[in-house]
Amino acid sequence: MTSAFAAEHLLFTPAVPHESAIATIFAFPNEYTVGITSLGYQIVWATLASRTDVQVSRLFTDVHEPLPPEPELVGFSFSWELDYVNILDLLERLEVPVRATARTDSHPLVFGGGPVLTANPEPLADFFDVILLGDGETLLEDFINAFQQVRHADRPTQLRHLAQIPGIYVPSLYEITYDPGGNLSAITAIAGIPAQVQRQTYRSHTLSASTVVTEKAAWESIFMVEVVRSCPEMCRFCLASYLTLPFRVASLEDSLIPAIDRGLKVTNRLGLLGASVTQHPEFETLLDHLNQPQYDDVRLSLASVRTNTVTEKLAQTLVKHQSRSITIAVESGSDRLRQIVNKKLTHEEIIQAAINTKAGGLSALKLYGMVGIPGETWDDLEQTVTMMRHLKKAAPGLRLTLGCSTFVPKAHTPFQWFGVSPEAEKRLKFLQKQLRPQGIEFRPESYNWSVIQALISRGDRRLSHLLEQVRHYGDTLGSYRRAFKELRGTLPELDFYVHADWSTNQILPWSHLQGTLPPATLVKHRDAAFAVPA
């Protein structure tokens, strides 16, 4: 238990909690090696540990620090849908009732945050007392300060007080009603509670960087620094772009370079994070900085980059810093489909990225694609196969990998109203059959996992009972289908959540939770997608 924590290099100084500090457990619902690699988890933990009025202990599924016998707060950083099972398991291990309605004044308040909960918390809402919507940098401080004000009050008083804070969502204070057909008909805040909860946005140009470096992390001994947040491209399916708007960049002189220099004192492995890191306006200057002799032994890892920013210089820099490949997201080989999703990218730019990758000395190019995009035809898939052939011809000897997912609708994006294509599994198999004989590595994401992901990303509160059932059966699609059969009559069919196209007029499970853009704007973006010529 202690060896994992003993191996850590802390890049901040934890505060010494005072005697009356809030006893807090902060959990990641997965193993330590996974959780400690999450930059979001690191930042929230360090924020809590830097306060003298909080005594925080970390909890993972396999290890934990000494835990307080009577915690006042139990928090979860939630990044991956299927980890919900571990949230319920950890609550039971702590002897905290799984459902918020079963908790009394003697139980801790259970709070959560992270991308899954910020996008659509409703399938999991009944398990949380409090959900933090948005960026944690300021929201977390607001939450702890507000809790201090009602720390010794009864539970209902605490929850009503917290619900007044922008970005703090208390699910039990919102009543959900359904019409006789099972459709959601109203979401109503109880008296005195805001009708809408607004996601909170951190607007500083000092972005996140690792607060701990450890050899026990899944990315061993890596120091991570956030170069940009959100993405200016705004692909119409993309949660990472729409949910985290506006696009922000870290200040090179005031934030990025000082953070990098601080991290490289304890490790020589650097990860540059962001949805589109090469679109930082001073990215070339950052490359020049990292190409100085004192950084020659630094191993550099880069998140996915925008295709038309793959230059020979970038490839050479990555080779110098022990990288062998670069990753780009192209979505499809069809120019028409790329226009539908707002991927501002031409066939020629994709070809040039491959040429530059090879010319710069990298040995591999990884591409991300997608099947089941709304409006997709079989001809679009043929064009993806043709594109991969062209890449192979344009850069002979370059190892090509196409990773391919199924389109999954995400809340607060223009494509939230579309369902998963029932044809998607066949389309993945088609691409595999066409590409593998040509020596192109094809890595399809599980179609069944995409169905489960869509269920949770589009679900409403009725799914909490289903998730409790499935937890005991295992996280397979068959388990979900079995649970739907057992709960028939109490919630819509699986197809309603996963495959159905929804009307832009209907109330959505997250209609009371405001993203950065209002629904009317998302509808305009959706309509623009299908103004693309056939």
Please state the rounded mean pLDDT for residues 188-200.
96
Mean pLDDT of the chain: 95
pLDDT of 483: 94
Residue 303 — pLDDT band, cuts 50, 70, 90?
confident
- The set of residues, in sequence order, having a beta carbon less than 8 Å from that of 88 and lying 6+ positions away, is 98, 127, 467, 468, 471
Q: Is the pLDDT of residue 211 over 80?
A: yes
Residue 203 — pLDDT band, cuts 50, 70, 90?
confident
Residue 138 — pLDDT band, cuts 50, 70, 90?
confident
User: Which DSSP helix (H) or strand (E) runs through 89?
Assistant: helix 84-93
Residue 148 — pLDDT band, cuts 50, 70, 90?
very high
CA distance 35 to 50: 19
pLDDT of 534: 63
Write down the domain spans for the chain. 2-198, 221-445
pLDDT of 1: 47
Q: Is the pLDDT of residue 521 over 70?
A: yes
CATH number corresponding to 2-198: 3.40.50
Please state the rounded mean pLDDT for residues 231-240.
93
- What percent of the chain clears pLDDT 90, i.e. is strictly above it? 92
Secondary structure (3-state) at 191: coil
Please state the rounded mean pLDDT for residues 136-143.
94
Q: Pick from 34, 55, 60, 45: which is nearest to 11 by CA?
A: 45
Q: What are the tens digits of pLDDT across the range 164-191?
A: 999 999 999 999 999 988 889 999 999 9
Q: Pick from 62, 73, 82: which is nearest to 22 by CA?
A: 73
Q: Is the pLDDT of residue 2 over 70?
A: no
CA distance 483 to 443: 30
Residue 191 token pair: 């008296």
pLDDT of 55: 98
DSSP strand pairing (73-77 vs 22-27): parallel
Residue 205 — pLDDT band, cuts 50, 70, 90?
confident
Q: What are the tens digits of pLDDT across the range 484-507?
A: 999 999 999 999 999 999 999 999
**Maximum Cα–Cα distance across the chain:** 70
Q: What are the tens digits of pLDDT across the range 42-83?
A: 999 999 999 999 999 999 999 999 999 999 999 999 999 889
pLDDT of 533: 73
Q: What are the tens digits of pLDDT across the range 412-464?
A: 999 999 999 999 999 999 999 999 999 999 999 999 999 999 999 999 999 99
Please state the rounded mean pLDDT for residues 380-388.
98
Q: Is the pLDDT of residue 391 over 80?
A: yes
CA distance 495 to 499: 5
Q: Which residue has the higher pLDDT, 354 or 530?
A: 354
CATH class of 221-445: alpha beta
pLDDT of 276: 87
User: Cβ distance 453 to 408 under 8 Å?
Assistant: yes
Q: Is the pLDDT of residue 304 over 90?
A: no
Alpha helices, DSSP H, located in 182-237: none
Q: Pick from 374, 435, 375: which is nearest to 404 by CA?
A: 435
pLDDT of 181: 83
User: Cβ distance 497 to 454 under 8 Å?
Assistant: yes
Q: What are the tens digits of pLDDT across the range 318-350?
A: 999 999 999 999 999 999 999 999 999 999 999
